[in-house]
Amino acid sequence: MALLTLLQAINDGLRNALQDDPSVLVFGQDVGPKGGVFLATENLTSEFGEARCFDTPLSEDGIIGAAIGMAMNGLKPVAEIQFQDFIFPAFDQIVSEAAKLRYRSGGQYTAPMVIRTPYGGGIRGGLYHSQSGEAYFCHTPGLKVVVPSTPHDAKGLLMASIADPDPVLFLEPKALYRSLKGEVPSGSYSVDLSTLRTAREGGDVTVFCYGAMVPVALKAADQAAEKGIEVCVVDLRTLLPLDEEGVLDAAKRTGRVVILHEAPRFCGYGAELSALIAENAIEYIEAPIKRVTGFDTPFPNTLEHHYLPDERRVLDAIETTHAF
């Protein structure tokens, strides 16, 4: 076991994938000799050569279009979009082409490709470098959407995504890139997609979260425990397809639910979780489901600390739900 940051774990996962499978290619803006804007691909070009890890022009639709063509012809491309905020020029390629390829071809073609992209706030990036757009893509059948929150899961989920026969959007919480470390096994391993992780056990309130909000939920749970409230923190890990049975089981165990994400509230991913629980487990629910989210505004720069949910807001929701 090595003690790695989330960023180092991603780099190690890419290295193992390149070592294990000659059909894996890594590419995107500045991912080659420079190693990417966050250094997620550092040293991969020097180790595997420019034919396996290389720079592309600044053209998101070109990057994803090329990846689709590669995936249809026996390669396993891992394309990086430098910031999730910049992915929208490639939106049509992702949702109209990659996601629909298996269905429209009757299974003759698939798109085994991964789109890596850092998302979310936490680095004072302002409105064009801090967005959380997961809900746009979770509305698209044919895609998988994965969000790690620990170094162990970052590597294991990434390797599982690269091995998957369908397109995977791999959202990396850049606020966690260097802010936490964890034990990561050496060599290749995978974490099954569409599985939950119970980050903390508790019998009073369940908090559902993912990505950079998992540490926030854990801090709030620690503070709640000091007040006698035991909180179960569930890390979703894969947003699409969701482990619906796991979500419902966790909600039923406590009967009180808080949903946490940093994306805006209206039509955010938490709305789907709330509807799933209300439609399938309402008889178990003892209090209104609370959502703690970002606000329905563009992402602010100087007010980032106010926009992002913190443990204070989460604790307030936990206490309100518990006292209902």
Number of neighbours of residue 181 by Cβ within 10 angstroms: 15
pLDDT attached to residue 1: 87
Domain total in the chain: 2
Position 190 in a domain: no
Whole-number Å distance between alpha carbons of 188 and 160: 10
What would the mean pLDDT of 60-73 be, rounded to a whole number?
A: 97
- Which tens digit of pLDDT belongs to each residue from 207-216? 999 999 999 9
- Which tens digit of pLDDT belongs to each residue from 180-208? 999 999 999 999 999 999 999 999 999 99
129 is catalytic: yes
Whole-number Å distance between alpha carbons of 15 and 34: 16
- Which tens digit of pLDDT belongs to each residue from 151-161? 999 999 999 99
- HEC string of 117-178 equals EEECCCCCCCCCCCCCCHHHHHCCCCCEEECCCCHHHHHHHHHHHHHCCCCEEEEEEHHHCC
Number of neighbours of residue 65 by Cβ within 10 angstroms: 18
Position 192 in a domain: no
Whole-number Å distance between alpha carbons of 151 and 229: 28
* Four-point Cα dihedral 198, 199, 200, 206, nearest 10: -60
Amino acid identity, position 295: F
pLDDT attached to residue 249: 98
Does position 225 have pLDDT exceeding 90, yes or no?
A: yes
Position 50 in a domain: yes
The share of the chain scoring above pLDDT 90, in percent, equals 97
Residues 105 and 223 in one domain: no
Does position 116 have pLDDT exceeding 90, yes or no?
A: yes
CATH number of the domain that residue 79 is part of: 3.40.50.970
pLDDT attached to residue 24: 98
Position 189 in a domain: no
- Which tens digit of pLDDT belongs to each residue from 90-99? 999 999 999 9
Mean pLDDT of the chain: 97
Q: What are phi and psi of 170, to 5 degrees?
A: -105, 100
Amino acid identity, position 61: D
Q: Which two tokens stand for residue 155?
A: 């590597």
CATH number of the domain that residue 291 is part of: 3.40.50.920
pLDDT-based confidence at residue 30 (cuts at 50, 70, 90): very high
Position 24 in a domain: yes
**In terms of DSSP bridges, do strands 231-235 and 197-200 run parallel, antiparallel, or are they unpaired?**
antiparallel
Chain centroid to Cα 42, Å, comes to 21
Residues 290 and 180 in one domain: no
pLDDT attached to residue 12: 98
Domain encompassing residue 86: 2-184
Alpha-carbon distances of 309 from 64, 78, 233, 294, 306, rounded to whole Å: 32, 31, 15, 6, 7
Does position 38 have pLDDT exceeding 90, yes or no?
A: yes
Position 283 in a domain: yes
Residues 118 and 243 in one domain: no
What would the mean pLDDT of 88-115 be, rounded to a whole number?
A: 96
DSSP assignment, residue 84? G
Whole-number Å distance between alpha carbons of 258 and 239: 17
